[in-house]
Amino acid sequence: MSENKFLPICKKDMEERGWKQLDFVYISGDAYVDHPSFGHAIITRLLEAHGFKVGIIAQPDWKDKNSITVLGEPRLGFLVSAGNMDSMVNHYSVSKKHRKTDAYTPGGMMGKRPDYAAVVYSNLIRQVYKKTPIILGGIEASLRRLAHYDYWSDKLKRSILLDSGADLISYGMGEHSIIEIAEALDSGIAVSDITFIAGTVYKTKSLDSVYDAEILPGYEEMKQDKLNYARSFYTQYCNTDPFAGKRLVEPYNDHLYVVQNPPALPLSEGEMDDVYGLPYMRTYHPSYEKDGGVPAISEVKFSLISNRGCFGGCSFCALTFHQGRIMQVRSHESLLDEAKMITQEKDFKGYIHDVGGPTANFRQPSCEKQLTRGVCKNRQCLFPKPCPNLKVDHRDYIKLLKELRDIPKVKKVFIRSGIRFDYVVADKSDAFLEELCRYHVSGQLKVAPEHVSDDVLTLMGKPENSVYQEFVKKYNKMNQKIHKDQYLVPYLMSSHPGSRMKDAVELAEHIRDLGYMPEQVQDFYPTPSTISTCMYYTGVDPRTMQPVYVPKNPHEKAMQRALIQYRDPKNYDLVMEALKKAHRMDLVGFDKHCLIRPRKFEGRSQQKVPGQKTQNQKSSGKPGQNDRRKNKNEHSRRNTVQSDRQNSRQNTGTDRSRQKKKSIRNVHKKK
């Protein structure tokens, strides 16, 4: 094992190591970055540590099948991942418009990977190597492992295992399952016979050897009735726990089934330490220097991953399906060793950018029973109220942060990966809040209340608004106590299932009272395998099977989004339309409580008070006709103003031309 080299990316690299054939070739949709924040780095280094020869083909040309042959045929198989993000999320915004940059590609260039990358790469391999095992991994494969709603095609898609032609899926974080798969293949077991490994999905023609399984609705049944998909999804959701999860079978026809084995066990603290202690180069491959490097490294180079998993259970988050609800943490020693390593980097300026994970202040399982009996199937740890069995304790995290601050060369340790504010409120001690405000906030703390309407928050799986308001009070009071002027920056989401126009207006009023307009607003994005996406597709909450209002119309979504940024002049028309639709014209006017002012017509303010008719309405008595007259007058006025401006520009240009000619004549006369 080499401790000071990148893994092979070409035959020359293999020759330098004296290797004629690799055991595994890893195909990645991301550029090759040998850092533990990148899935391909963890899996390949872990295989290397277990004695396997591994090479990487990063972002192969999917239009050329020879691009996946540059390392030759591997002895045991191909490992395929779309990258750190689902390729469709990577490529498209929520409005399905192409993104302009890709942080996981050299130079931030977009277009270096295909749509549905895992499927495309696997099909490319199959064109060349007909029988070589293909194992899918990464978040795209993990969240598409069974039938799933695909927002970009607006269809219910089959398991990615079938469309890709791959043999196995290693879902979740994959450390346990990938080593078991590798050892099984190395022992001579055919890939078609590897049906027994936790954390994997396989396909079979018969259920004769499948035992103790729960049969899900068939794919055709789900296509015909969305409610069947909702039932199937919730069954999957209730079986994401490694201790209590059942084996699931999804039928496609009488001779084709996709079988999901229960999830792999969570990593122990020692295993987490081992994974993050592997000999990573901690940067991108030097071949990318000419392109300016890989932008994504800048976000993680000076950050520490201290935990995995999340028992927060937000409906719009896929963590339950991917990392699970059981917390997995690294030891203080492991984190301190990595922090000291970071301080030796030549461009380290004294700032550790983050210490956390999906939720920074979760450093232990939510309760004792999770490590033996698993998480509860039909209740959450924090929602709607904290569970009586929930352990709320920040002491370990406080100690870790203090130890990191005491490292020589460290000036400041920030927390940027997110604080679960309801967990802070549930803590009877204010010790962590004081530590946070005193040492780990850079003037602004980002938190995620997401909304203020309790109806919407319930569907989001978030605590009611009063809990966030309590946190705001505690935060402000603490900053007053320590004599610091620090602010909260709330993340807010528009158009989540359940959000009607009245809820969007309520959120806008909250923003008005804050005196703050968010620079960024997240429109709800229906990504694979979340409860919220299931609501979006089926129109019901899969937990209760009750109908849910879903804002799908692009124009309505634009109005809800505009309300959050109602102060932006570009949003005026949308905000006005939204307020009319919500019957909230009391918010149009000049009072402090109003969101926008009425427009001026023909030089005079036509302030409209709810219930009060304008002069034109009084004379005509026909609001519709009056509106048409107003529009016509406004259109005429704009045309007149535009014409006057054009004439003015033309006259100005003519006057300047005449003046210039006159000046030239005067010069000639003097000569």
Question: Residues forming the annotated binding site?
Answer: 310, 314, 317
- What stretches of 238-317 show up as alpha helix (H) in DSSP? 269-276, 297-300
Under 8 Å between Cβ of 440 and 353: no
Kindly tell me the number of DSSP H helices and DSSP E strands found in the chain.
25, 26
575 neighbors 567 (Cβ within 8 angstroms):
no
Confirm if 397 and 432 have CB atoms less than 8 A apart: yes
| Helix residue ranges per DSSP H, 37-174 | 39-49, 87-91, 117-128, 138-143, 160-164
Q: Which two tokens stand for residue 412?
A: 């400041």
Q: Which residues of 517-554 are buried (b: 16+ CB within 10 A; e: fewer)?
A: eeeebbbbbbbbbbbbbbbbbbbbbbbeeeebebbeee
Q: Are residues 397 and 345 in contact, defined by beta-carbon separation less than 8 angstroms?
A: no
Select from 32, 70, 527 the least CA-distant residue to 283.
32
Annotated binding site for [4Fe-4S] cluster: 310, 314, 317
Q: Which residues pair with 77 in a beta bridge?
A: 24
Structure tokens at 603: 């030089």
H-run or E-run covering 23: none
Query: CB neighbours of 653 closer than 8 A, spacing ≥ 6?
Result: none
Q: Which two tokens stand for residue 180?
A: 């078991």
Give the angle 419-237-195 at the CA atoms, nearest 5°: 120
Neighbouring-strand partners of residue 98: 92
Please give the structure tokens belonging to residue 95: 């409005």
User: First-to-last CA distance in the chain?
Assistant: 87
What is the distance between the alpha carbons of residues 69 and 77, in angstroms, rounded to a whole number? 13
Torsion sign (Cα): 379, 384, 389, 393:
positive
| Cβ-contact 364, 396 below 8 angstroms | yes
Give backbone dihedrals phi and psi of 108, rounded to 5 degrees, phi first. Answer: 70, 15
Nearest to 219 by CA among 276, 258, 272, 178: 258
CA–CA dist 179, 192 (Å, integer): 17
- Count Cβ atoms within 10 A of the Cβ of residue 240 and give its class: 0-12 exposed, 13-18 middle, 19 or more buried: buried
